[in-house]
Structure 1
Amino acid sequence: MGNKQFQESFSKSKSDTRPLDVKKCISIRRDPITGKLIGVPKEWATHLDADEQQIVETNKLPEEVRTHRLPERVLEIQNSIENQKNLKQGLKIDKGANLGLAGLNVEMEKEIYNSGVSRNEIVKDTVSFISILEIYDGKELASKQNSNEVMTQTEFLIENPAQKYIFYEQIERGVNCKLYKIIDRRLNQVFVAKVFKFYDNFNCYRLKREISFTRQLECPFIVKYHETYLHSGCFFIIQEHMNFGSLRKFIKLFDKKIDESIIGYILYQILLGLKYLHFKGKIHKHLSSKKVLMNDKGDIKLLIMDYKNEFKKDKDPYWIAPEIIEQQIIEDVSDIWCLGIIAYELSERNPPHFDDHPIRVMYNIVNQPAPKISKNRSCNFQDFTSKCLIKNYNKRTSLRELLRHDFITQNRERGRQGLIDLFQKVNLDQKSKLKKSASLK
């Protein structure tokens, strides 16, 4: 593997044959001749520099020493190695190449052509465009975090969640994930289960880290994490149920403009969630209308953990801040840009550049002026949105200032009842449609 950190963790020389003891069931050693690891469980082999001829079959081993119990030290090594792999290493600026870049694979070249971004646009700022391709290709970006963040012991429950929960109905189905409404058999309480398969290249360390942080959050503006199961090769993440779904779905329900008092209330609730998150030393990084959940009581909460897009390229870049694309840095105010795009979306029904290819969207975010909402909206709403969408993140308005903005202070209370009334109207409309459908049958 050639990784210094890896070598130090297992042996300081090829002759070191000290075993890595895991539950006293597995002994991993480095072969003194080949330098490869021997005795590695089959499911771990893709993560480690293993000798394929001497891989251990794990079907005879106890459940607790299989893939999901990969030692924390090994997970850290895997995490650091994966973060070093990125598209940029294989790309070079080459003005003689078709698109001004050498090292593009056929698939990525096709995506660029489909995006409509021209060669001249790429050559104009090739470094920024390479960053766009990296994010599109799924690179995980690091953000500054609180150095005092406490990692709690996180374990997955190795049992069938159906013993505790009734899987009532499937709410949503994505490419890699299914969403179920479930009911606790004993408490008769409703939760949501996100179910996705365990992939060979899945970053368990990252999942454990996210769970470790999320389980410590106690905030009425953050979706509550409950527990995680690993059963039959699938993860089951159990979380609080928000019965009206995402803000994105809410926006798509209406053809008419949403009242500004309701918009102000929604944005205020999101700001309170971000305030708590930033106080805890955490940046959301992926804030969008899809990560804001609602219930019919008028509660608005931020979804922190969302792994259904874990193995997909970034197909929803509409909310990404320009500094993330251009410089690959993430600051607290990057979340403020995302909030501004949500405000734009609440006003105009879709985020900017909604019909464009994702690569073109990111190119436009970096190279075009900041978007503005319709002039038919109030001056206060226009001003609030423009303060969120300042492209220079050093000059972008802070969260504290936005909480004191007139648009928020005037609407933060009176918008709640308007939102509840809107939910009731939607429920009545849906019941009416169901009755008509039943009568036609």
Structure 2
Amino acid sequence: MSNSYSTEDPREHYELLQQIGSGSYGTVHQAFSNDTSEIVAAKIMAIQDDEEFVQVMKEVEFLKKLSENPQPNIVNYLESYYSKQLKELWIVMEFCGAGSLTDLMRDANRVLDEGEAAYVIRSLLLGLKFLKEKKILHRDVKGSNLLVTEEGLVKVSDFGVSAQLNHTFSKRATFIGTPYWMAPEVFKKSAYDFSADVWSTGITLIELLEGKPPFSNLHPMRAMMVIPTQPPANLRGQRSHLTNIPYSEYLHQFLEWCLQIDPTQRKTVDQLLEHPFLKCATGLENLIAHRYVGPVADNSGVKRNSMDIVSIAGVDTSEPTRKSAEKINAATALRTAPSVEVDTGTVVRPKEKQPDWGTVVQNDVNQYQTMVQQKVEEKVEEKVETKKSVEVPKKSEHASDEEDNEDEGQNKKACNGM
């Protein structure tokens, strides 16, 4: 395990720019790499004792294992640093400038249409397929754990409650997850496997289309009692909240495949990836277009570049903030130069006035000894909103290009509810 982290001072390699998240685990910062001139995300955790260190390092081992063979839809782990003297662990990840799906929907003040949702779910399933091949359960699939790069690539993140399956244990019986997205068998403390992530995928699809998961009006502890006793969740209406177009039969069938009470009746990730609903996938260009900077037009119609945005955004112009902005823009310019491939990244932007439904973690004592971990929300005042210059892709790289025109036409009609 000692090879999983460096004992060097991380501050010699990274300059912290601004805090972008916090919780019971510690804080997440946007950081500038002095070695590569890239913007990254640094998760800084205070380690209380040796037992906690061992548990946290399990997460690092997960991330390191996944990074050995990177998959486009999984957040990329870079490296870790640990100071025994300071009892502080740094986990360095790539940075996702567009934030999470939850952030994007909140900022755009809208839900996803069917094509956008199909694209996100397809990306999620590709990530889960990769995790399954590595024998890893995610166990906390939801919109806020799906992060988006500025190019619109969706990445699965937050493996803090992931569980690796080994040859001895084929199923898990621990109670971990976020209640509104959790499968019924998890509440009952029954042994469960990858089908639990399939259920959460179905709930996440509803979240993307309606803006929130089923039963989110209930307190988390109440939801834990209600969800296992109710029929499978479904869409509240028959028409898109965004377009008012009827939902397609493909969508309804896909949800049915995911949301079976009996986990043995749910389709597998591989089967879901073959469902025609996913051929409706478009992309997230329209959703994230308002975050692109360079060049963009302001209300006057004048185009400005990313450097101009820093000065016209009304942010703090003090020396530390100005230097941070310069670091961000320097890294942006480096990544968006014609001869350099744009680097994508990971981790969420600051959240403001967003409901936090928490993550439920059960101690291994009995099925009633639970707690809801509420994330600590800190007000971030006068922070620099990170925006990088990238060209909006004309078409998602995950959109199906291999179908012939006739199949595409049929799929679009199905997606539009015609």
Q: What's the TM-score once normalised by structure 1's chain length?
A: 0.58
- How much does 1:174 deviate? 2.7
User: What is the SS of the residue equivalent to 1:216?
Assistant: helix
The one of 208, 218, 229 equivalent to 1:367 is: 229
Partner of 2:80: 228
Partner of 1:246: 100
- How much does 1:437 deviate? 6.0
Q: Is the 8 A contact 2:179 2:224 kept in 1?
A: yes
The one-letter code sitting in structure 2 at the alignment partner of 1:174 is G
- How much does 1:153 deviate? 5.7
Q: Distance in 2 between matches of 1:385 and 1:399?
A: 13
Q: Distance in 2 between matches of 1:431 and 1:364?
A: 48
Deviations 1:191-216 (A, max 9, x none): 10111211237533333333223212
The one of 253, 262, 265 equivalent to 2:119 is: 265
The one of 132, 141, 150 equivalent to 1:296 is: 150
Q: Say if 2:70 is the partner of 1:200.
A: no
Deviations 1:366-414 (A, max 9, x none): 1111111121122221221222111110111211221111110232xxx
The one-letter code sitting in structure 1 at the alignment partner of 2:40 is F
Q: Distance in 1 between matches of 2:314 and 2:53?
A: 46
- How much does 1:420 deviate? 2.1
- Gap change, CA 1:182 and 1:283, over 3 Å in 2: same
Alignment of 1:114-125 (within 5 A): none
Partner of 2:268: 398
Q: Distance in 2 between matches of 1:222 and 1:436?
A: 32
- Stretches of structure 1 lacking an aligned partner (at least 5 in a row): 1-151, 308-312
The one of 376, 380, 392 equivalent to 2:250 is: 380
Deviations 1:149-200 (A, max 9, x none): xxx7644322321110111111123344211011110210111011121123
Partner of 1:421: 286
Partner of 1:186: 35
The one-letter code sitting in structure 1 at the alignment partner of 2:43 is K
Which structure dedicates a bigger proportion of its chain to helix?
Answer: 1
- How much does 1:306 deviate? 3.3
The one-letter code sitting in structure 2 at the alignment partner of 1:421 is N
- How much does 1:304 deviate? 4.5
User: What is the SS of the residue equivalent to 1:290?
Assistant: helix
- Gap change, CA 1:203 and 1:173, over 3 Å in 2: closer
User: What is the SS of the residue equivalent to 2:179?
Assistant: coil
Partner of 1:351: 213
Partner of 2:344: none
The one-letter code sitting in structure 1 at the alignment partner of 2:186 is I
- How much does 1:224 deviate? 0.9
- Gap change, CA 1:431 and 1:239, over 3 Å in 2: farther
The one-letter code sitting in structure 1 at the alignment partner of 2:75 is V
Alignment of 1:32-431 (within 5 A): 154-200=3-49, 202-217=51-66, 218-231=70-83, 232-306=86-160, 316-373=178-235, 374-376=237-239, 377-411=247-281, 415-416=282-283, 419-427=284-292
CA RMSD of aligned residues (A): 2.9
> Relative contact order (alpha carbons < 8 A, sep ≥ 6): 1 or 2 greater?
2
Deviations 1:237-279 (A, max 9, x none): 1111111122221232343342211111111010100111111
User: What is the SS of the residue equivalent to 1:180?
Assistant: strand
Q: Is the 8 A contact 1:291 1:302 kept in 2?
A: yes
User: What is the SS of the residue equivalent to 1:327?
Assistant: coil
Q: Distance in 2 between matches of 1:195 and 1:303?
A: 16
User: What is the SS of the residue equivalent to 1:360?
Assistant: helix
Q: Is the 8 A contact 1:182 1:191 kept in 2?
A: yes
Structure showing greater radius of gyration is 1
Q: Distance in 2 between matches of 1:316 and 1:274?
A: 17
User: What is the SS of the residue equivalent to 2:265?
Assistant: coil
Deviations 1:321-352 (A, max 9, x none): 11111134221111101111110100110111
- Gap change, CA 1:275 and 1:390, over 3 Å in 2: same
